[in-house]
Chains A and B, each alone.
Chain A
Amino acid sequence: KAGVTQTPRYLIKTRGQQVTLSCSPISGHRSVSWYQQTPGQGLQFLFEYFSETQRNKGNFPGRFSGRQFSNSRSEMNVSTLELGDSALYLCASSLDRGRSPLHFGNGTRLTVT
């Protein structure tokens, strides 16, 4: 079974630009969540989608948004990029929203210059 796939693997953007990251979950998984990882803040939850609806949102500004499609694939968007948005963005999928574990992709490394 293929794991969680994130594209692109690396991205370099300039301040003020916007970026879209993509995530394909494990087949059959309906929950997709996004996390930001930085050396200073560690792993922080961004948001969770299940059945195309946002179910949970972390403490991030409105510049961070996401969506989930009917095939469970998900995208997250960051508008008006700031230097502090440089981070590893991780997507995880899960069979359901209960006890099932999360399976993470290897992330998209975003650098904002």
Chain B
Amino acid sequence: DAKTTQPNSMESNEEEPVHLPCNHSTISGTDYIHWYRQLPSQGPEYVIHGLTSNVNNRMASLAIAEDRKSSTLILHRATLRDAAVYYCILKGETSGSRLTFGEGTQLTVNP
């Protein structure tokens, strides 16, 4: 499975934007970039995914580099409820539901 690299931790202030980076230099042409987050005592929650173009949904935006070797999850206005571990994962069309989770980025949001 192609590997992703994320910072171990990041900190933000409430109501400020947060940019969570992810490097995936060995991504293949058919790999989708997925982001999940996990709050304490809960299962991972799907956030957003994309292939080549930038994507927006009600939770976040995903900016994908032109060469697809990196991406950034953008939370436009962080809230205390956004404090979680964020995972960047590559999902190939042939990998089914087999996801390889790394250690993710622990996001702390300060009031």
| Neighbouring A residues of B96 by C-beta, 8 Å | 31, 33, 48, 50, 55-56, 97
Asked if A101 contacts B43 (CB within 8 A), the reply is: no
**Complex formed: what's the CA distance from A90 to B46 in Å?**
14
A33-B97 CB under 8 A given contacts A42-B103, A99-B91, A101-B49: yes
Q: State which of B32, B45, B103 has its C-beta within 8 Å of the C-beta of A104.
A: B45
Chain B 69-111 per-residue mask, 1 if CB under 8 angstroms from chain A, else 0: 0000000000000000001000101011111111100000000
Give Cα A4 to B107, complex, Å: 25
B43 and A105 contact, CB distance less than 8 A:
yes
Count how many pairs of residues, one from A and one from B, have CB atoms less than 8 Å apart in the complex.
Answer: 65
User: Given known contacts A99-B49, A102-B46, A103-B46, is B97 in contact with A31 (CB within 8 Å)?
Assistant: yes
Within 23-75 of B, Cβ neighbours of A (below 8 Å) are at 32, 34, 36, 41-46, 49, 51
Q: Measured between alpha carbons, how far is A112 from B101 in the docked complex, in Å?
A: 24
The 5 closest A-B pairs by CB, nearest first: A104-B43, A33-B97, A43-B101, A97-B96, A101-B46
Contact A102 B42 (CB under 8 A): no
Complex contacts, B41 vs chain A, CB 8 Å = 106
CB contacts (< 8 Å) of A33 on chain B: these are 96-98
Instruction: A32 to B97: give the CA distance in the assembly, Å.
Output: 8
The answer for the CA separation of A101 and B45 in the assembled complex, in Å, is 10
A56-B98 contact, Cβ under 8 Å, with A43-B44, A104-B44:
yes
- By the criterion CB–CB under 8 Å, are A42 and B43 in contact? no
| Partner pick for B34 among A43, A101, A105, A106, CB 8 A cutoff | A101
Q: Is the CB of B42 within 8 A of A106?
A: yes
Once the chains bind, are B93 and A98 in contact (CB under 8 Å)? yes
A48 touches B43 (CB 8 A): no
Cross-chain contact of A102 among B99, B102, B103 (Cβ < 8 A):
B99
Is the pair A92, B97 in contact by a Cβ cutoff of 8 Å? yes
Contact present for A94 and B97 (CB under 8 Å): yes
B34 CB contacts on chain A under 8 angstroms: 101
When A98-B93, A99-B32, A99-B91 are in contact, do A48 and B98 touch as well, CB less than 8 Å? Answer: yes
